[in-house]
Amino acid sequence: MSEDQTQSTSGEFERQPVPKGSLLGFKSFIGMYAGEHCAGTELMIGPLFVAAGVSAFDLIFGLLLGNLLAVLSWMFICAPIATHSRLTLYYHLEKICGRKLVTLYNLANGVMFCFLAGSMITVSATAVGVCVNFPMPGLTDIMPNSIGWVLAVLGVGVLISIVAACGYNTVSKFANIASPWMVLVFLVFGVVALRQFMLATDTPVNSLESLWHLASTEIWKGGDPLPGQVKFTFWHVTFFAWFCNMAMHIGMSDLSVFRFAKKSWYAVATAAGMYVGHFMAWIAASLLYSYQLRVDPTDTDVLPGPMAFRAAGYAGLLCVVIAGWTTANPTIYRAGLAFQAIVPRMPRFSVTLATGLLATLAGMFPGIAMKLLGFVAIYGMILMPMGAVIFVDFYLLRRFGMQSNYAELSRKSFNWAAGLTWFVTLGTCVTLVKFTALQALLADSLGIQLLPGFSGVQIYFVSLPGWFVAAGLYIILSKIYQNKVHK
């Protein structure tokens, strides 16, 4: 997003509704979202789809549908509440949940941001490996695999952390400048890789039909995933595209952004981010990886630096560094802000620097970036229940005869109804994901067979039933909690 705006506005109206004079026009949101969603991590996600054995139909149509669902979630779930209340997510949550529960939410949010920033540092560090010869991590590596890799991540991470701590504004301005160029370089990756496929397979592309034939028989052939990867179908791609920003739309993080929108329909601007970053950029990055596998099927490493260098030379390499850097920077800054809410007396510089170093440490473990599809799904799942709490509080509680913004009204610092909703929903989701292992454990130790034939729900899908569990729980628990407090 336009980090300038986040920065300049985060210091204003933090505890009051945004006044009419400070509202932003539609164009601001288009630039904001198109820039934010063309990030370093797109260079990991596209290749990981190929590693997951995705087919052309599943990828293209899954992304079209999933991104549409994401845009609709912003338009009809997040933005209407944002333009009505015009409060930041944190202040909105504080009114509902109380200060202590919001602090816990901040901690969870900050930790997730750290891991995400870590994977962005990982992406940037793969560019170092093109210029300096050291063993880089493979697709199945979880732990750091060489001293050279650790030093590369450390160098990149420390630089990013220092800049995030002292020069946030400069980098955010630089990110805005780099954004249009970066989008075009991503497009170049796709165009060059497609031509390379045409040459390698001796297949001319002169119609949509011939393009589709090449795509489905050579580029995204489907079939078995690479070892250690989960097989991705149409529904995996759809749900991943829908939920990879779940924390922002259904999880309501972007209340803080759309509180500045004059109208809730401005959230349609998120389509710019989805169809540029999460459609074009993912497809382009997946083309790079697919071509790498075509040239050498044993070379399964997902390393954005070398892939970009082969397609676009030093400009491509620069794009990898800048894409990772400009997106890790605000992510570290946001994580720092979340942590600072927990330790308000610590200077922002120290908190951001420490956060950056934590992200650097996370970046040394390639397992996070190599398992990014799963990590992003976990990220959405962890923050989703609070989005459901805000949705129910806004639309439903008063209809059921209860009070909304209950923590503020009752002067509670920890709304147990909201807290339990969060914890129980997460417990339910984890149980559903780990159901097979849990079933085996119960069968072995107690001889109990729970729901024979049911093998659980994969992490990519679990947040959908999870949202309904959270919404239902919050209504029931609020009924009990609000009655108990009033007695």
Partner 1 sequence: MKQALQIISLIALCLTIFPALLFFAGQMELDAVKWLMLAATAVWFIATPLWMGREEQSQQAAE
Question: Helices in 37-98 by DSSP H: which ranges?
Answer: 42-51, 56-73, 79-85, 89-97
327 SS3 class: helix
Of the pair 195, 484, the CB lying nearest partner 1 is at 195
Of the pair 257, 284, the CB lying nearest partner 1 is at 284
- Which of 159, 162, 315, 342 is close enough to bind partner 1 by CB under 8 A? 315
221 SS3 class: strand
Does the protein bind partner 1 through residue 63 (CB under 8 A)? no
Taking the complex as a whole, the smallest distance from the CB of residue 309 to partner 1 amounts, in Å, to 9
Q: How far apart are the first and last CA of the chain?
A: 46
Of the pair 314, 349, the CB lying nearest partner 1 is at 314
By rule CB under 8 A, what count of residues binds partner 1? 22
Between CA 177 and CA 210 the distance in angstroms is 37
Helix, strand, coil share of the chain (percent; to 5)? 75, 0, 25
Contact positions with partner 1 (CB under 8 A) in 1-40: 4
Radius of gyration of the chain (CA): 23
Of the pair 5, 161, the CB lying nearest partner 1 is at 5
Please name the residue that has the structure tokens 């620069």: 318
CA nearest neighbour of 475 among 395, 382, 381, 380: 395
Q: Across-strand partners of 147?
A: none
Please name the residue that has the structure tokens 């949940």: 97
Could you tell me the two tokens for 209?
């039909």
- Which DSSP string corresponds to 98-137? -HHHHHHHHHHHHHHHHHHHHHHHHHHHHHHHHHS--PPP
Taking the complex as a whole, the smallest distance from the CB of residue 332 to partner 1 amounts, in Å, to 22
Of the pair 176, 403, the CB lying nearest partner 1 is at 176
Of the pair 134, 174, the CB lying nearest partner 1 is at 174
Please name the residue that has the structure tokens 């995705």: 54
Taking the complex as a whole, the smallest distance from the CB of residue 194 to partner 1 amounts, in Å, to 7
Does the protein bind partner 1 through residue 69 (CB under 8 A)? no
Q: Which residues contact 76 (CB under 8 A, 6 or more apart)?
A: none
Does the protein bind partner 1 through residue 318 (CB under 8 A)? yes
Contact positions with partner 1 (CB under 8 A) in 163-222: 173-174, 176-178, 180-181, 184-185, 187-188, 191-192, 194-195
Of the pair 123, 192, the CB lying nearest partner 1 is at 192
Taking the complex as a whole, the smallest distance from the CB of residue 301 to partner 1 amounts, in Å, to 22
Taking the complex as a whole, the smallest distance from the CB of residue 23 to partner 1 amounts, in Å, to 17
Taking the complex as a whole, the smallest distance from the CB of residue 178 to partner 1 amounts, in Å, to 8
Taking the complex as a whole, the smallest distance from the CB of residue 427 to partner 1 amounts, in Å, to 47
Of the pair 9, 355, the CB lying nearest partner 1 is at 9
417 SS3 class: helix
Could you tell me the two tokens for 386?
């609070």
Does the protein bind partner 1 through residue 441 (CB under 8 A)? no
Could you tell me the two tokens for 350?
């120290």
Taking the complex as a whole, the smallest distance from the CB of residue 88 to partner 1 amounts, in Å, to 22
Between CA 328 and CA 332 the distance in angstroms is 6
- Which of 246, 312, 332, 378 is close enough to bind partner 1 by CB under 8 A? 312
Residue 320 Cα to chain centre, angstroms: 18
Does the protein bind partner 1 through residue 304 (CB under 8 A)? no
Between CA 274 and CA 75 the distance in angstroms is 13
Among 150-158, 249-257, 308-316, 447-455, the segment contacting partner 1 (CB under 8 A): 308-316
Q: Which residues contact 308 (CB under 8 A, 6 or more apart)?
A: 43, 127, 189, 288, 316, 317, 319, 320
Among 36-44, 89-97, 314-322, 325-333, the segment contacting partner 1 (CB under 8 A): 314-322
Taking the complex as a whole, the smallest distance from the CB of residue 200 to partner 1 amounts, in Å, to 13
Q: Across-strand partners of 261?
A: 24
Of the pair 184, 440, the CB lying nearest partner 1 is at 184
Taking the complex as a whole, the smallest distance from the CB of residue 319 to partner 1 amounts, in Å, to 8
Contact positions with partner 1 (CB under 8 A) in 154-173: 173
Query: Count of CB atoms within 10 A of residue 196's CB?
Result: 18
Does the protein bind partner 1 through residue 295 (CB under 8 A)? no
Of the pair 152, 318, the CB lying nearest partner 1 is at 318
Residues that bind partner 1 (CB under 8 A): 4, 173-174, 176-178, 180-181, 184-185, 187-188, 191-192, 194-195, 312-316, 318
